[in-house]
Amino acid sequence: MTEPVKVHLGSGPHLMPGWINVDYEADFKPEVVADLTQRFPFDDASVDYIHSEGVLCQFDLPAGEHFLNECFRILKPGGYMRLLTPDLRRLLSAYLDDAERGENQLAALWQREVEIPLKLKTSAEVINIGIRNLHKFMYDSPTLMKLLDESGFQSQEVGYQQSSVAALSGLDVRTPENATYMYFECGKPVDA
């Protein structure tokens, strides 16, 4: 039996053994150096599984739509993608909690997990950098579901490290405690 083709999009330094790691930064030494805002260097319906964490948020909405359309194109019918991206609702809710309590827990989390230094070390600064500089488009669950649906995927929000697909389980880098991420499992219908 042939091995499934597994593609890890926007690997960064987290190269996954047994996967084709893809990034546009050659310094990370991925198997494939490619700009994911362009046509992906994979044939139609040639990939069994895709994993991507923290990459969709790097793109504005049109580039994000292109990214999802390309993921759909390269997946085989019946294939699955695991997609992880920051959750706008969780981020804003953490900010509002801080504002109400006069705390800066979100800023503390940022300082533990993100290399970009804060000047004022407040949660309002995190919101500004997170939305205006670090990320180009931040999704909440309904917005991402809508875009996934438009790209042809059948998707559901799942939990950290949870997947109905063995190949996609246990891959997540960020825990719910150290990030405000959401986790999606996206299938390409068998008749697509």
Ligand X SMILES: C[S@@+](CC[C@H](N)C(=O)[O-])C[C@H]1O[C@@H](n2cnc3c(N)ncnc32)[C@H](O)[C@@H]1O
CB of 190 to ligand X, least distance (A): 28
Minimum Å gap between C-beta 67 and ligand X is: 8
Nearer to ligand X, 66 or 188 (CB): 66
- Least distance in angstroms from the C-beta of 191 to ligand X: 30
Binding positions for ligand X, rule: CB under 6 A: 10-12, 14, 23-25, 35-37, 53-55, 58, 173
Partners of residue 18 on adjacent β-strands: none
Any residues with CB less than 8 A from the CB of 96 and at least 6 apart, and which? none
Residue whose CB is less far from ligand X, 14 or 89: 14
**Under a CB-based contact definition with an 8 Å cutoff, are residues 26 and 33 in contact?**
yes
User: Minimal distance in Å, beta carbon 39 to ligand X?
Assistant: 12
| Closer by beta carbon to ligand X, 120 or else 173 | 173
The amino acid present at 1, given as its one-letter code, is M
14 or 99: whose CB is closer to ligand X?
14
